[in-house]
Amino acid sequence: MTKDTWGRVQNELKATLGKDAYSNWIDPLEMVEQASGVIRFAVPTNFFGDWVSRNYGDRILQGFLDDGCPVDRLDFTVPARKSPAAVQRRAAVPASAASARKPAAAEIDLPGSPLDKRFTFDGFVVGKPNELAHAAARRVAEGGPVTFNPLFLYGGVGLGKTHLMHAIAWEIQNLQPDAKVLYLSAEQFMYRFVQSLRFKDMLGFKEMFRSVDVLMVDDVQFIAGKESTQDEFFHTFNALVDQNKQIVISADRAPGEIDGLEERIKSRLQCGLVVDLHPTDYELRLGILQSKAETQADYYPGVVLADGVLEFLAHRISTNVRVLEGALTRLFAFASLVGREVTLDVAQECLADILRASDRKVTIDEIIRKVADHYNLRLSDMLSPRRARSVARPRQVAMFLSKVLTSKSLPEIGRRFGGRDHTTVIHAVRRIEELKAIDNQIAEDVELLRRMLEA
């Protein structure tokens, strides 16, 4: 039965996509029929269908195929309206409620994401790379006259952006229990927006978002390229700033570097305080490990880490804090299962895969060298201003690989390629992405180089 298969595919997606994405995009899909190799889903809006098809279509299709279901294609359509009366009734509810009586702010159900109990200021370890971000977050949490609006936090994955945002929310709730703090991911924001379009309840949407005292939107880079969501975000943002309400935003890049974000939004985001979380250094990692090890020790009494194990981890795992935490958790679990002291040898053995993965750090220099080699060019050609295709194309390939294999920012990559502008890098990345789809030679070159560099 295809419906059973759909159930299994859903379960798998739930596991791989995570709760947020699953409940936003997969759960609302309704499988309607399967006929001549096409599986049809009912979706709330065309936009929704488009989005799901583009972002999750392949995975859904693969799920069906893996289960042995004969299908060539998925189709996402908005079902024809059932009865005009039903639609009208639905649309009429919020409108008449709003005109009869404006709901008091406290009655409005805020659609935020839950806050993680562990993500408090107490649990946040401060070091050089994050001290500015931490200080700014503290200041915002203390409230008082709004000083930085918005506070814009940015930095790579796992550096503590979400942690700091939750900490602000907890602290404000402690200090001002009446304040309405709304924390949500940009994806949630967009989902709410799409829902309100679907139920023709834009009024309710606007009212809800404009009624908060503090709005926090996490991972705002997500709405880049999504025009109508951006538009609505912009209006919400302005309305709140006009009322002197605090806004906190996070992203994985600086506002100016978020490709596909409207200029007016970029400039608004830059109006407040923009602070970045730098990659961790050894001291900070060690501090975090010590703090987390204390917490773990409460769960696993009797587990002993030998001297030097934390130092070893701080030294060897420098990618992101989430990985570091994962490694520590695994060590504690392992030690409590086998009842052995965790020595350096045990740690090395138990974490072999994580250690290997974090060893494999590719540098831009290596990329430039390998690409030059592959295309028989001189190193100086890669960095020179020459624009002949025979040089420019390999250079673009190298820029593309630098973007996908390293965590360097676009301006940094530009600088390393003979002081080029970040827009040149953006252009190169796009160009190679396009070419990979239509030019087999390029696709092969890129794949080969990537494998060599990652090996």
- Phi, psi at 36, each rounded to 5°: 35, 60
Least Å distance, CB 29 to ligand ADP, is 28
400 binds, among ligand ADP, Mg ion, none (CB under 5 to 8 A by kind): none
Query: What does the alpha-carbon distance between residue 348 and residue 362 come to, in Å, rounded to a whole number?
Result: 22
Exposed/middle/buried for residue 214 (C-beta within 10 Å: 0-12, 13-18, 19+): buried
Least Å distance, CB 341 to ligand ADP, is 26
> In the window 149-178, what residues touch ligand ADP (CB under 6 A)?
155, 157-163
Nearer residue to Mg ion within complex by CB, 161 or 403: 161
Q: From edge to edge, which strands make up the β-sheet containing 73-77?
A: 30-35, 38-42, 73-77
Query: What does the alpha-carbon distance between residue 28 and residue 146 come to, in Å, rounded to a whole number?
Result: 39
Q: Are 129 and 279 in contact (CB under 8 A)?
A: yes
Query: What does the alpha-carbon distance between residue 82 and residue 125 come to, in Å, rounded to a whole number?
Result: 56
Q: Are 67 and 8 in contact (CB under 8 A)?
A: yes
Least Å distance, CB 236 to ligand ADP, is 22
Collapsing DSSP to helix, strand or coil, 183 comes out as strand
Collapsing DSSP to helix, strand or coil, 395 comes out as helix
87 binds, among ligand ADP, Mg ion, none (CB under 5 to 8 A by kind): none
Return the residue of 51, 124, 152, 332 that touches ligand ADP, per CB under 6 A. 124
Length of the chain: 455
H helical segments located in 116-185: 131-142, 161-175
Query: What does the alpha-carbon distance between residue 347 and residue 262 come to, in Å, rounded to a whole number?
Result: 48
Cis link prior to 94 (omega < 30° from 0)?
no
124 binds, among ligand ADP, Mg ion, none (CB under 5 to 8 A by kind): ligand ADP
Query: What does the alpha-carbon distance between residue 59 and residue 12 come to, in Å, rounded to a whole number?
Result: 10
Least Å distance, CB 275 to ligand ADP, is 13
Told to check if 296 binds ligand ADP by CB under 6 A, we report no
Return the residue of 19, 73, 89, 322 that touches ligand ADP, per CB under 6 A. 322
Least Å distance, CB 185 to Mg ion, is 8
Q: Name the residue with the smallest CB distance to ligand ADP.
A: 160
Q: Name the residue with the smallest CB distance to Mg ion.
A: 162
Least Å distance, CB 206 to Mg ion, is 26
List, in order, residues 6 or more apart from 145 with CB less than 8 Å away. none
Return the residue of 39, 125, 216, 453 that touches ligand ADP, per CB under 6 A. 125
163 binds, among Mg ion, ligand ADP, none (CB under 5 to 8 A by kind): ligand ADP
94 binds, among Mg ion, ligand ADP, none (CB under 5 to 8 A by kind): none
Cis link prior to 279 (omega < 30° from 0)?
no
Compute how many residues bind ligand ADP; rule: CB under 6 A. 17
111 binds, among Mg ion, ligand ADP, none (CB under 5 to 8 A by kind): none
Q: Pick the piece of the chain touching Mg ion (CB under 5 A) from 68-76, 134-142, 154-162, 262-270.
A: 154-162
Told to check if 162 binds Mg ion by CB under 5 A, we report yes
Nearer residue to ligand ADP within complex by CB, 157 or 175: 157
> In the window 345-364, what residues touch ligand ADP (CB under 6 A)?
none
Query: What does the alpha-carbon distance between residue 354 and residue 124 come to, in Å, rounded to a whole number?
Result: 23
Query: What does the alpha-carbon distance between residue 218 and residue 187 come to, in Å, rounded to a whole number?
Result: 9
Return the residue of 247, 288, 346, 432 that touches ligand ADP, per CB under 6 A. 288
Which residues contact Mg ion by CB under 5 A?
A: 161-162
- In the complex, the residues that contact ligand ADP under the rule CB under 6 A are 119, 123-125, 130, 155, 157-163, 288, 321-322, 325
